[in-house]
Amino acid sequence: MATPGGAPAPAGDNLRRLTDLYRMMVRIRTFEETALEAYKLGEIPGPLHVSFGQEAIPAGVCASLRQDDRLTSNHRGHGHALAKGADAATMYLELYGRDGGYCRGKGGSMHIADFSVGMLGANGVVAGGLAIAVGAAQGLKLLKSDAIAVCMFGDGATNRGPFLEALNWAAIYTLPVLFVCEDNGVAAHTETRTVTAGDGPAARANAIGVPAVTIDGNDAVTVDETVARLVADVRAGRGPRMIHAMTDRWSGHTATDAAAWRDPKKVEAAKTRCPIARLKSVLIERGLAPAVLEEIGTAARNEMHAGRAAANAAPWPSVPSAYDDVQSVGAVSGGR
């Protein structure tokens, strides 16, 4: 979805752009459905966090980004990586821990990164990406680049100190950062509203000095339009902005979490707000041929199944590679 190097296409009532958005959302959904299926069969080790219901946000955010814009992510980062331009098959290799994966098998799902497309990494620490994002923006500014930094985080992260520090930091140095809070209402096994006081992330951001808006994060069109506007502000040097995007997490915290405590009615209600179904009706309304929609689904399935199959068949990284990439000076070698 990122348009490498070039200017973003204008947002708004543009069928081609909305179709691209849709395609990205379907790819994210299909990537994770496929990964979850594989996970349940024991093909994928380690923790796996899927984001069913949240796809409009990464797709809508990255539609206005260039490849040289940088993005920091959190533990739920598949969508962020795909939308920023990472390759699904290489991601599967990493999820499987195989040779050729993005992190050479050292990271797994929770540490997906593709620096070549500006994706600076998923992060296993809640709010861990905030300071990194503002620093990336500060570095870009020092280098006189007009690339920007984008920071994706959940509602749970707004109760950690780095939220305050990083937003204040971005504001005082007028840094080119777009903060994006994906508010799915839950943090692990807790409803976030039960542990969050005040008027929410946008109110906090505004008070700290970062202009923020709350939007319906399940409406890809709204996300796209809002981001396009704010990215223009940020890129023009007007300082940081924040989007607080309301959304839903349909599934448990991890792939092994049944989330039995959640009210099934609420989860069902969330599914009626599916961002993909919603954009689909918009596209149909605007006259996109059903065959195109069908084709998008088929292509995504084929892409993901091929990626999965290749990953499942790929060799493990060599054991000596465990000793690579620790540090240049003072690295130890294998064999203890």
Partner 1 sequence: MSANPTSDITLVDAGRLAVLQEMRRDPTVWVLGEDVGRGGLWGQYRGLLDEFGPERIVSTPISESTIMGAGLGAALVGTRPIIEMRMFDFVMCAMDELVNQIAKVRYMFGGQAKPAVVVRMPHGMWRNSAAQHSQMLEAWFAHLPGVVVVCPSNAEDEAGLLVSAIRSDDPVLFFDPKDLWTAPGQITDGEIAPIPFGKARHARKGDALTIVTWSAVTPNVLTAADQLARDGINVDVFDLRTIWPWDQDAVAASLARTKRLLVVHEAVEVGGFGAEIIATMIDRLGPAAIKVAKRLGAPRIPVPFAPPLENEVRITRLSAPCPGDSATSPRGHRGAAQGNE
DSSP 6: S
- Report whether 115 contacts 59 (CB < 8 A): no
The interface partner of residue 305, options being partner 1, its own copies, ligand TPP, none and the CB cut-off 5 to 8 Å by kind, is none
Query: Which residue, 3 or 159, has its beta carbon nearer to Mg ion?
Result: 159
Q: Which residue has the tokens 């098959």?
A: 89
Query: Which residue, 133 or 186, has its beta carbon nearer to ligand TPP?
Result: 186
* One residue of 17, 23, 29, 75 binding ligand TPP per CB under 6 A: 75
> Under rule CB under 5 A, which residues in 123-182 are in contact with Mg ion?
154-156
Query: Cβ 257 to ligand TPP, closest distance in Å?
Result: 10
Which window, 24-32, 155-163, 257-265, 315-323, contacts ligand TPP (CB under 6 A)?
155-163
Neighbours of 47 (CB within 10 A): 16
Q: Does 186 bind ligand TPP (CB under 6 A)?
A: yes
Strands in 50-194 per DSSP E: 70-72, 149-154, 177-183, 186-187, 190-191
Query: Which residue, 114 or 155, has its beta carbon nearer to ligand TPP?
Result: 155
- Report whether 167 contacts 205 (CB < 8 A): yes
Query: Cβ 141 to partner 1, closest distance in Å?
Result: 7
Query: Which residue, 43 or 216, has its beta carbon nearer to partner 1?
Result: 43
- In Å, what is the CA distance from 309 to each residue of 89, 92, 301, 303, 313? 9, 9, 12, 10, 6
Pairing of strands 212-216, 70-72: unpaired
d(CA 246, CA 217): 5
Write out the residues near ligand TPP by the rule CB under 6 A: 75-76, 124-126, 154-157, 184, 186-188, 249
Write out the residues near Mg ion by the rule CB under 5 A: 154-156, 184, 187
